[in-house]
Amino acid sequence: MQQVCLIRTRHRAKGGLTVPDVRIVNVTKKFGDIVAVKNVSLHIYDKEYFSLLGPSGCGKTTLLRLIAGLIQPDEGEIYIGDRLVNDIPPEDRDIGFVFQTFALFPHMNAWNNVIYGPKVKGFDMKKADTIGHEVLDMVRLHERLDAFPNELSGGMIQRIAVARALAAGAKTLLLDEPLGQLDAKVRNELRYEIRRMSKDLGLTAIHVTHDQSEAMAISDRIAVMKKGKVLQVGTPKELYMNPQSIFVAHFIGESNFLEGYVVNENTNEVSIEFRGGIRVSVTNKTVKRDDRVVLAIRPEVFIIEKGRKKSKNSMLGSVERVTFEGTNIRYEVRLENQDLVVIVKPSLVGEWFNTGEKVTVSFSSEKTRVFAYPDVGLREEIAVE
Amino acid sequence: MAKPRITEALDKLSSKKPIKYGVYSTAVIIFFALILLPPILGIIIKWNTMQQVLIKPELMSRALTAVANSFTIALFVSTIDVIAGVPMAWLITRGKSKWLNVLDTLADIPFVVPTAALGYSLLLFWSEPEGISSLFGSSLISPGWLLVTLLHFTFSYPVVVRVIVGALLDYKMEYEQASRTLGAPPLAAARTVTFPIIKPSLIAAFILAFSRSISETGATIIVAGIIFENGPVFIQKITDDFKAVPPRIDQFSYQGSLAFASFVLIVISLIIFGIIRILGPKLKLPIKRIWPTFERKLSYSKATLSRDSVTLLIFFAIILAPSLFVALPAFEAIFTETLPNAILGVSIWSEYWQSLILSYSLGAIVTVFNVIIGLPMAIIVARRKAGTLTSTVLDLLVNVPLIVPSIALGVSLKFFWKETFTFIPEMLLLIFAHLAITYPYFVRSMSAAIERIGVDTEEAARTLGAKPLGVFRTIILPLTKYSILSGAIMVFTRSVSETGATLAVVTTLRTAPVVIVDWVKQKLPVPVTPLEIGLGCGFLILFSFIILLALRLIVRGKGRY
């Protein structure tokens, strides 16, 4: 017998075109003198799993609350689907919101929390019941429907909160650090479950997080934010492989930053001299001779070899610290010019190096990024607080 | 800087079990000996005299009617208070206008006005030709049950608003926001999520309004008129009859009536409080049914504008204007010879100034006593120092004086102390009475503040080497000093305002509210003019306001504790 699946039917009713589902156009939000969101524009596509990523205080939660209608923008426009929603209250925006603290109603059991949305939207009780059972099946918590929030574990509360948001039948799911309060193990399991449910139901999901590994693991695209501005939007791979700013290179994954000056420029390559006279050549067209620059190199890009080796872009150093991290080994190498670089290598591949050992580190010029030295200084540029 | 030797020695002493338990035991003994048992024993002592009422059906019927009036008005007023207070609290906490801060402050004004002055102000406003009655040509509301009801609504309204405002400010907005994002219009979100969550505060507000209404005496006597009687008015009238020359009632009937009325007031109050305490948590607000379309209509534009307009109209027309109306004759008195007479202490003013000094000194003494004996009890209650069960029982018992009508408490205390210790000075009796009435205010406020400090904070201090007294001195005291101050303010204002218990326990000493009541009721050999009463009320309000403002300025913005 074919089971009637109301929740899926309702969620999929609008079809599957890839068009902007949520559009944010030049939105600014101030709290007193503090500009929380500064002239932000974003397009989030239909059925996309989109993350807003950034350090605490970067404006990502404010942006999510603006989309939900919990606060109003000072400037700009927000569209959900085809509707301009600036003046539409949250209950009419057709969104589901999962709060960081989950905000399950403490005076209602799991079941009443879940069917609250269908009830307040005026569904008849039979339909509300069917939806309630469907979403509880999806989060596999049918056996705890009589439990009150204070009787559930953190993971269960999180799943009920997601179920409640899904049961309301919204096409857009907004998640404000939904995994932030959970244990690491539960967090890792649930992040994939949320994405799976969102994709199964064909929802547009906007997920706020400060955890770059979480965002990378679950997102179709990510917007990296800092101080109220969106610095870069892209797929996890684009952001990792091609960061457009020092902050993104620093915040997404890990990078070594080496400071120097451009001493020579050719058609496709520039030569950079670090302190101590070390010279390297990298592929770049944006910087010019005498520019002060920062070279960003991922830890896994470095090649590390014992002793002195002569090759392109090689530097001498000695291993200062070795940390075994399970999958990887992490080396901290002090270069001849006293700069410190971090190098990560798979622990089960290649040779290991010991503390104090003299080594040569080198890198491929195509796999590095060169940025103009920031006006505010490198330390300030990559600061996350 | 090294610790003074005496502090170090006391710190060390505090870790000794006999000392620690000695302090807590003393606090409990003082509570039982001075606060809880005397009123109960006072009634028991006069148990036999109650027969005098039982054998006089007319007197008994009068007493029972008066008591019934007390509870009817208290229940009605408390219900209306919560119904009218919720929209006001909502407006103050959720409104967006910058004027709401002003409204928030204005809502406290009736709280600052001592109730005797408030009673006179309402009498002028609603009944006397100088007030709103001038528009109608005759007394709009004559003294009697309606004016008493209005009075009780006026003075308990700010208390209810304050409690609900506090609850709404502490309430986690995310619940309501979650409800809104799930599709609930604002009214449905408030009805199905916010109010069920803050239900304990709504019940607390109801209980406070109820106990204030049951206890209020001075202002009620002023506005009750000749015929209407509630419990406190009945007790006061019987006392007046006994003190009249020649007495209009014999001593046994007088004592019997007082004991009977006090007993019934106390017992029914305790029963009602018990019922609310037991049934309150089980009370379910109607949240199962939701009417999305209807509630949406009531959530926006015209409906909310109408709600806010009615709320403001009630506040300004029924609460604020009548409360401050006494300022008119007080202001008028400034331009007559009343003011110089008052300043020079001529005629009735000499007693007035003495009563004012007595009121404020009494308030100060009672406040200091409360801090000394209330702090250890607050710690016992908050930290369950006497074991979970005993501490819970103490927690409940501490509330008893709060819900016992103050005049009944005063009558019982008089019976107990004057019969048992005939030599006791009247001032001491007055202190005991005010201490019994104000004690719960301080202990409640302090225990709540201590509960807010995590036990782990104290444990951290202990693991770092602090002795129990050291923990109190360096952790509890700094974190709760502003709660101590707020508790002290509550005790002080309550003591200065208190009339019922004062009337019951004293024969010669007269506090300012008692003097105001006497002036209004024209109990003095010389007639007292409205300008004199107005100025007397004005001074009382002014000084109370200055003291409270000074204390509020000290407390303001000093953190949540």
Is the confidence at residue A173, as pLDDT, over 50?
yes
Q: Report the gap between the CA of B157 and the closest CA in chain A (Å).
A: 28
Residue of A nearest to B299 (CA): A89
Is the confidence at residue A15, as pLDDT, over 80?
no
Q: Are residues A28 and A152 in the same domain?
A: yes
| CATH number for the domain harbouring residue A30 | 3.40.50.300
> Does ipTM surpass 0.90 in this model?
no
Q: Are residues A234 and A281 in the same domain?
A: no
Q: Are residues A157 and A227 in the same domain?
A: yes
Q: Report the gap between the CA of B467 and the closest CA in chain A (Å).
A: 36
| Res B1: pLDDT | 53
Give the homologous superfamily in CATH for domain B1-45+329-561: MetI-like (1.10.3720.10)
Q: Check B184 against A91: CB less than 8 A apart.
A: yes
Q: What is the mean pLDDT of residues B406-418?
A: 88
Query: What average pLDDT is seen over chain B?
Result: 88
Does a structural domain hold residue A1? no
Q: Report the gap between the CA of A191 and the closest CA in chain B (Å).
A: 21
Is the confidence at residue B525, as pLDDT, over 80?
no
Tokens 């400010």 correspond to B169
Which residues in chain B have their CB less than 8 angstroms from residue A101's CB? 172, 174
Interface contacts A/B by beta carbons within 8 Å: 79
A49-53/A221-226 β-pairing:
parallel
Question: Beta partners for A43?
Answer: A23
Q: Are residues A215 and A297 in the same domain?
A: no
Q: Are residues A267 and A141 in the same domain?
A: no
Is the confidence at residue B79, as pLDDT, over 60?
yes
Q: Are residues A277 and A190 in the same domain?
A: no
Number of CB atoms found within 10 A of residue B404's CB: 28
Q: Are residues A212 and A330 in the same domain?
A: no
Looking at per-residue confidence, does A269 or B224 come out higher? B224
What is the number of structural domains in chain A? Answer: 2
How far is residue A332's CA from residue A317's CA, in Å, rounded to a whole number?
A: 10
| Res A283: pLDDT | 86
Last residue of a domain, one of A248, A268, A291: A248
Last residue of a domain, one of A196, A223, A248: A248
Is the confidence at residue B558, as pLDDT, over 60?
no
CB-closest option in A106, A107, A164 to B182 = A164
Instruction: Say if residues B172 and B45 touch (Cβ distance below 8 Å).
Output: no
Last residue of a domain, one of A248, A263, A286: A248
Q: Are residues A161 and A35 in the same domain?
A: yes
CB-closest option in A90, A101, A107 to B181 = A90
Tokens 């002023």 correspond to B222
3 state SS of A305: strand
Q: Are residues A167 and A258 in the same domain?
A: no
CB-closest option in B175, B183, B185 to A117 = B183
Q: Are residues A308 and A241 in the same domain?
A: no
| pLDDT over 70 percentage in chain B | 98
Q: How many Å is the Cα radius of gyration of chain A?
A: 25
Which residues in chain A have their CB less than 8 angstroms from residue B194's CB? none
Q: Are residues A314 and A222 in the same domain?
A: no
Does a structural domain hold residue A339? yes
Q: Check A120 against B184: CB less than 8 A apart.
A: yes
Which residues in chain B have their CB less than 8 angstroms from residue A116's CB? 179, 182, 184, 192
How far is residue B393's CA from residue A238's CA, in Å, rounded to a whole number?
A: 65
Binning pLDDT at 50, 70 and 90, where does residue A13 land? very low
CB-closest option in A91, A122, A174 to B180 = A91
Task: Note the pLDDT tens digit of each residue in A87-125.
Answer: 999 998 989 999 998 899 999 999 999 999 998 888 888
Q: Are residues A84 and A120 in the same domain?
A: yes
Does a structural domain hold residue A382? no
Binning pLDDT at 50, 70 and 90, where does residue B502 land? very high
How far is residue B146's CA from residue B144's CA, in Å, rounded to a whole number?
A: 6
Does a structural domain hold residue A385? no
Residue of B nearest to A67 (CA): B181
DSSP single-letter state for residue B387: -
Residue A358: what are its φ and ψ, rounded to 5°? -80, 130
Range of the domain at A362: 254-376
| Res B560: pLDDT | 39
| CATH number for the domain harbouring residue A357 | 2.40.50.140
Q: Which range has the worst mean pLDDT, A135-144, A313-322, B311-320?
A: A135-144
Is the confidence at residue B330, as pLDDT, over 70?
yes
Q: Check B181 against A120: CB less than 8 A apart.
A: no
DSSP single-letter state for residue B96: -
CB-closest option in A96, A101, A122 to B181 = A96
